[in-house]
Structures are given as C-alpha cells and as structure tokens.
Amino acid sequence: MSYRAPVAEFQFLFDHIVDLNQVAQTDRFSEATSDVIAAILAEAGKLCDEVMAPLNRVGDLNPARLENGVVRSSPGFAEAFRAIADGGWIGMSADPEYGGMGLPMSLTTAMNDMMSGACLALQLCPLLTQGQIEALQHHASDALKETYLPKLISGEWSGTMNLTEPQAGSDVGALRTKAEPLGDGSYKITGDKIFITWGDSDMVDNVCHLVLARLPDGVAGPKGISLFMVPRHIPDEAGKPGVANTLRVASLEHKMGIHGSPTAVMRFDGATGWLVGEEHNGMACMFTMMNNARLGVGIQGVGIADAAYQHALSYAQERKQGRTAVKGGSGNIIDHADVRRMLAAMKADIFAARAISMACAVAIDMSSATGAEEYKTRAAFLTPIAKAFGTDVGLEVANQGVLVHGGMGYIEETGAAQYCRDVRITSIYEGTNGIQAMDLVARKLMDGGEAAYRLLSEIENAAQDSRATLPALAQSVWEAAETLREATEWLVAQGDLNDRFAGAVPYLRAFARVLGGHYHLKAAMVERGDGPRTRLAAFYINRLMPEYASQLAHARQGSAGLYALSDADLAAQ
C-alpha cells in the first residue's frame, strides 16, 4: 500500500476537536473559510500522494551526495521541491506583503504532517525555510526582509539554521564561531557548524544560513550570542545571487536515516553576514525559529507514524499466517489478538498526538490573531508536549510497524525499517525530548502552574459534560486530570529544580496521555457515544491512558533516588 494523506482526519480535527472556526472568525484569518480549508487540504493531500510519496524510497536508496563542493540532491527531489514551491506551500503562513498566503499555522501544520508522512527527507527543506521566514519576519531589518523574504517564500531560495558546533550541542552558549564588524553594516563570520539540515542543495538558486556567532564584545555564554544572515551567494543590487560567499560544505554526515536530506558540516571562512535583530540577542531571535521548528518536528513524528501505520495495516490485511479462534475472520494476521492490539494502539496514539499538535497550532494562531496572553501561554505550554509526544509516538509506532511485519519487517525491501531509521532523529533535534520535558517543568511552570491548571480545568469540565453519554470513559478522564493536577501541585512546590528535572520526562508523558484521553473523549462525543471513534476512544482511555498513573508515581520521586546510585553503582557488573 502506498501512502495516502489523511485529509479527512484533519477535516474532522478542525471541525470537532480543536475548533479551527474560532481562528477563521478573527480579522487576521477571516479568509480561512471552510471552503478554503477543504480545498487546501485536498490539494496538499494530492501533492503528497502523487508527487512526494513516490520519492520516499528513492531518497533512501539514492542519498544526497557531495561532488566537487556541490551537493547533488536525490533523483526527483528537485522537481518535487519545485512543485512544492510553485504551489505556494512554503509560504502558506507567511506575510502576504512579501508573497505569502497569510493562512493559519494550523493549516501549515496539517500540510507538514502530510508531507512528512509522504517523504520526510524532502519535507525538511521547506520546514527549515518556513522557520527562517518566521524568524526574519519578527526580527530582521526592513532591508533584509525585502531582500530575503520574497525569495524564501517563493522557494527560489532555501533557509537553514546554524547552531550546533562540535563542542557546543545543546549547550549553545559554548559556541566559538566569531563575528567581526567590517564597518559597513556587514560582518565577517568565521567558524564551523555541524548537523546543518539541507546545508546546501542544487534545488535552489541560493541557500541562506542563519548563523549564531559571538561579537568581539559578546560576553561568555548564551547572552553574548548574536544572529547573522549569511547567504551562499551574496545578493547583488538587483537582489539576485551574486558572488560566492566564503563558506562551504566541508562534508556530509553519514546518517542512520533520512538519507535524501543532506546534513552538512558547514565551514565559514570570513564569510560576509548581516546582523538579524539586536546585538547579543541572537538566542531570542533564533528561538523564534526553533519554537516554530519544534511544533514542526513534533508533527513530523506524527506524519511518519501515520505512514508506518498505513504500511503495517496493509500488510496485516494481506498476510496469512497461523490460525485464530476469531469467527468470521479474514484468515489474515489482522485476526490475531496481538496484531490487532498493536494496530489499535498505533491508530489511537496517532490520533492523540495529532490532536495535541493541532491544538498547539490553533493556540499559536489565536495568539498571533488576538495577542491575548492566554493563548500565548497555552501555545508555549503545549509546544514541548507536542514535540516530545509526537516524536515518541513516531518512534513507537514505527517500531510496532516492524513487529506487525514480523521477520519481514527487518528486511529493508519491505520498507518498514525505513520509518524507524528516518523517525529516530526527530526525538533528538530541535532540543531532545528530555530538554523539552525540562522546559515544561521549569519555564512552563514558572507561572505557578496556572497554564497547566487552566488546561486541566478544561479537561475536567469536558469530562463532566460527557458523563450522561459516556459515564465510564468520562469518569476515567476526569480522575486522570485530577491526579495530574495533584502531581503538578507537587512539582510546583519543589524548590530544587533537580527534583523537577528528575521526573520531567514521565510528567510530560503523563500530561500527554491525559490530553490524549481528553481528545479521544471529545471525538467519541461527536458520535454521541456510538461509532468507530467511540470504540477507539474506549481502547485508548481503558488501555493506554492508565500509563499516566505509573508515570506520575515516577515523576514525584524527586532526584534523591537517582543520585543515590553512584557512578560506581552504575558501572558495576
């Protein structure tokens, strides 16, 4: 079975679960009518199914390569990227003043989900460009905006983000790349960056690098870092790519997956760059791009999960092996209880993770449309959950997909293993999932837990409203939310952040589990408690959601037990 974009699923989410209509009712997004949304989803699905999905295996078997200093893209990628660009998909949410469509981030997020399921390696290129567009819109000078935004939005140029160095991974403040002012408004950038996704390609006329570097008077650590635009070719007076800048791809990384996406080691040798934002405020500027990318990466996990599920379901519906006691069964392995369990868990988790990501996207849209603090804090709170849970689900579903295939799943020709290899990186980049969890229990609880409590109150109120129709499921969700509230109160009361950090990952997982139950319950209520979504909700709430209890027990243990295990204890055999 080839990939099919879940267009109808997004329409259901928008109509019944995350309420995209509230976004369309704002002045900013008033053009996002139901007809427009339906048309965009249909066209995006067609692009994914017909143009991108056929290239997924092609990119895996024919990786991008570096030849004589030029990165050569996988066969068919350039034509597909041009179809993406010509369709206006890169600039869907970008400012119309510079050629964007100005549509809600929710629609862009849905599109990124479908594109990731179709071909993650290719989708990474427009995703990074979208993030750069967002950063420039918020922080760049008018001159930089006029030069770069139209080209990035049109897809004539692409964008990257350059943070990581060999000695400075998550600790970005340890970077050594230098920036020296040249006295004419430009700067000389010198240093090496690693893990630069789509650091170069032959698909575009110019590659535009956002680079973190330290000015001569920049203090040590993250507060002394500035952000610079450093293009592969310096634009001439007409805004066209001019002379080559003094930067190059030193090598391409040999990766576990996403082979069609070139991941570069970039060398900047006195390259010309321009300041983006204020001096020494580079991290704040880059975080605009990173926050955009974190939601984008979370939805990548969901997209890959959906593709892996579709692949496994198709196999299970065709493969005959063994006998079951199921009366009237198909005779295929989908009749086996354990295979049915895996497929149900895959489908239920995909819905939960997708709903969380789309709720985050709607909060971002409402924040940008209204400026209301409530939506800003909601979006900020949901972002680490969407990123971590979405990519965890991607990993888990891809692994289960291999198990559904049995031994054939371990054979590359079946294609199941590629999903595992490709999705593995998503839980690592844009801040590992552990970092996301630490952010959740630290920064996102700095308000005393108010953002968390508001969300939990909504879950409890919705459960109360569902009692008459689905009493048992509603009670389970209400109890889960109340237990999560108590655990949140415990975390907020901990003065030592290490006690929060020790339980950060299980706390985030528990929160995601309860949110998933909430969204499944809402889906069941759309059917008034009778239908396929109700049966899936019952599976999730009764079988998967209870994981929250053990995760919260873990989260409330603090750090003492971790450090009671000494280095010697951990090394003992």
Alpha helices in 140-229 (DSSP H): 142-154
Could you give the residue numbers annotated as active site? Answer: 430
Q: Are strands 241-244 and 233-235 parallel, antiparallel or unpaired?
A: antiparallel
Residues whose CB is less than 8 angstroms from the CB of residue 259 and which lie 6 or more positions away in sequence, other chains included: 59, 60, 61, 62, 63, 64, 74, 121
Q: What are the Cα distances from residue 28, in Å, to 96, 361, 367, 369, 518?
A: 11, 15, 11, 6, 29
Please state, as a whole number, how many other Cβ atoms lie within 10 Å of the Cβ of residue 501.
Answer: 18
| Nearest C-alpha neighbor of 227 from the set 172, 292, 277 | 277
Give dist(CA 458, CA 521) in Å, integer: 13
The 3-class SS string of 50-109 reads HHHHHHHHHHHHCCCEEECCEEECCCCHHHHHHHHHHCCCCCCCCCHHHCCCCCCHHHHH
Give dist(CA 314, CA 359) in Å, integer: 29
Count of residues making up the chain: 573
| Amino acid found at 563 | Y
Please state, as a whole number, how many other Cβ atoms lie within 10 Å of the Cβ of residue 506.
Answer: 21
| Nearest C-alpha neighbor of 478 from the set 491, 465, 492 | 465
H helix or E strand, kind and range, residue 270: strand 263-276
Please state, as a whole number, how many other Cβ atoms lie within 10 Å of the Cβ of residue 372.
Answer: 11
Give dist(CA 524, CA 345) in Å, integer: 16
Give dist(CA 462, CA 455) in Å, integer: 11
Task: Give the rounded distance of the alpha carbon of 193 from its chain centre.
Answer: 22
Give dist(CA 260, CA 28) in Å, integer: 37
Q: What are the Cα distances from residue 219, in Å, to 279, 440, 495, 499?
A: 11, 28, 29, 30
Please state, as a whole number, how many other Cβ atoms lie within 10 Å of the Cβ of residue 183.
Answer: 7
H helix or E strand, kind and range, residue 192: strand 186-197
Residues whose CB is less than 8 angstroms from the CB of residue 465 and which lie 6 or more positions away in sequence, other chains included: none
| Nearest C-alpha neighbor of 302 from the set 430, 114, 37 | 114
Asked if residues 195 and 164 have their Cβ atoms less than 8 Å apart, the reply is yes
